[in-house]
Amino acid sequence: MDIGFRWYGEGNDNVKLENIRQIPGTTQIVWALHHKAAGEVWEKEEIQREMQLIESHGFKAEVVESVNVHEDIKLGLPSREEYIANYIETIKNLGGAGVKVICYNFMPVFDWIRTDLAKEMPDGSTALFYEKDLLNDASPQDIIERVLQNPEFTMPGWEPERLSKIEDTIQQYESVSEDDLFSNLQYFLERVIPVCKEHDVRLAIHPDDPPWSVFNLPRIVSNQEQLQRILSLVDEEHNGLTLCSGALGANKENDVPAMIHAFQNRIHFAHVRNVYRYDNGDFIESSHREEDGSVPITDIMNAYYDIGYKGCIRPDHGRHIWDEEGRPGYGLYDRALGIMYMLGIWDQKRKEQK
């Protein structure tokens, strides 16, 4: 198992690679070319430059999060052909450079949604928060304005060019059912998975965050049954999952340890984070510690240990603590604490098994 840490690139992240290097046990940087719009080809030279920078700091750079899927592919429009061809080009370029896993998502319009990026907790830390009633009552535009009050960085999935046409994009989905979205995903996978196989790159779909429909948009990556259906669309190892305990864990029906056992060799990347679920349907991203939230983090780590998981695990989001500023969810300190918590469970388990 490799511990990974998501990093947004030089000038686009106030966490330094030198600092990540000091988190015990951390060997992978999970990266992306964040300036690339969905549908653009990632060129070989740019890929190499980024990977060399990461590797020169002593890390592996084998996991990319994310190569975003163009909306026309999700909508199943004729123009998807061009974007699928570009995606294939990117897979080849990444595979050629030594990348082993590509994380992506298939959420219409919004990749993750919250109503507050810095909700204060009783201890003074801040965290990403989802307020159910607010989301149900507000328009997409209200939410965007609320969430992006003082954007210091562009957040993935919330790029200005994407947001500027959001109402139109939402409208385009009015005629797209869940079954249509499954067929559009299948169409995409049938074309890209053979290329992944040839270049030995594993594709790993990230669950919907949160795992239910927002603004009446179809969502198909929200529970065990849907994940199973996605794996069956192209039943081949390279068609796999990013199992995100925080995204899935926002719905109490989702049993993440059971999913780890059920999907074993199809999990190519793991996000571990906790969420505290309030009775009214709200949730907040708590610390990784099991008792601070509603997700059984110790059972999850034990399940990964028990299946002999060899892939990359990264702490997903963290709170902002110790006066740290910067990208919501992606500070240094709380994610580092998360890593130490995960490794504590892992090491204990390893000792017991000896």
By CB under 5 A, name the binding residues for Mn ion: 244, 271, 316
Helix (H) or strand (E) holding 278: none
Among 300, 314, 260, 336, CA closest to 15: 336
Q: How far is the CB of 348 from ligand DNO (least distance, A)?
A: 26
In the residue annotation, 70 being an active-site residue is answered as no
In the residue annotation, 34 being an active-site residue is answered as no
Catalytic residue among 208, 209, 282, 316: 316
* Residue 111 binds: one of Mn ion, ligand DNO, none (C-beta under 5 to 8 A by kind): ligand DNO
Site string for ligand DNO, 270-289 (x = CB under 6 A): -x------------------
One of 62, 111, 131, 290 touching ligand DNO (CB under 6 A): 111
Residues 5-64 touching ligand DNO, rule: CB under 6 A, are none
Among 304, 278, 280, 276, CA closest to 289: 276
Catalytic residue among 2, 13, 83, 206: 206
Measure Cα distances from 121 to 36, 181, 337 in Å: 35, 37, 17
Q: How far is the CB of 144 from Mn ion (least distance, A)?
A: 21
Residue 121 in contact with residue 90, Cβ under 8 Å?
Answer: no
Q: Which residue is nearest to ligand DNO (CB)?
A: 66
318 lines the binding site for ligand DNO (CB under 6 A): no
Q: How far apart are CA 314 and CA 22, in angstroms?
A: 15
Backbone φ/ψ region at 299: left (φ over 0), alpha (ψ -120 to 50), beta? alpha
Of 66 and 125, which CB lies nearer to ligand DNO in the complex structure?
Answer: 66
Catalytic residue among 244, 276, 309, 334: 244
One of 243, 316, 327, 332 touching ligand DNO (CB under 6 A): 316
Residues 112-141 touching ligand DNO, rule: CB under 6 A, are 112
Among 111, 87, 103, 110, CA closest to 39: 87
Of 111 and 116, which CB lies nearer to ligand DNO in the complex structure?
Answer: 111
Which residues, in sequence order, are bridge partners of residue 185? none
Identity at 300, one-letter amino acid code:
I
Instruction: Measure CA of the first residue to CA of the last residue in the chain; give whole Å.
Output: 17
| Both tokens assigned to 229 | 């259906």
256 lines the binding site for ligand DNO (CB under 6 A): no
Identity at 62, one-letter amino acid code:
E
Segment lying near ligand DNO (by CB under 6 A), choices 9-17, 239-247, 296-304, 320-328: 239-247
Contacts of 95 (CB under 8 A, 6+ apart): 196, 199, 200, 201
One of 26, 66, 239, 286 touching ligand DNO (CB under 6 A): 66
Q: How far is the CB of 92 from Mn ion (least distance, A)?
A: 26
Tallying the residues shown for the chain, one arrives at: 354
In the residue annotation, 268 being an active-site residue is answered as no
One of 247, 250, 321, 337 touching ligand DNO (CB under 6 A): 247
* Residue 257 binds: one of ligand DNO, Mn ion, none (C-beta under 5 to 8 A by kind): none
Q: How far is the CB of 8 from ligand DNO (least distance, A)?
A: 11
Total interface residues for ligand DNO by CB under 6 A: 14
Measure Cα distances from 177 to 71, 182, 218 in Å: 15, 9, 6
Identity at 241, one-letter amino acid code:
L
Rg (CA), the chain: 19
Q: Which positions are catalytic?
A: 206, 244, 271, 316-317, 330
Chain residues in the site for ligand DNO (CB under 6 A): 65-66, 103-105, 111-112, 206, 209, 244, 246-247, 271, 316
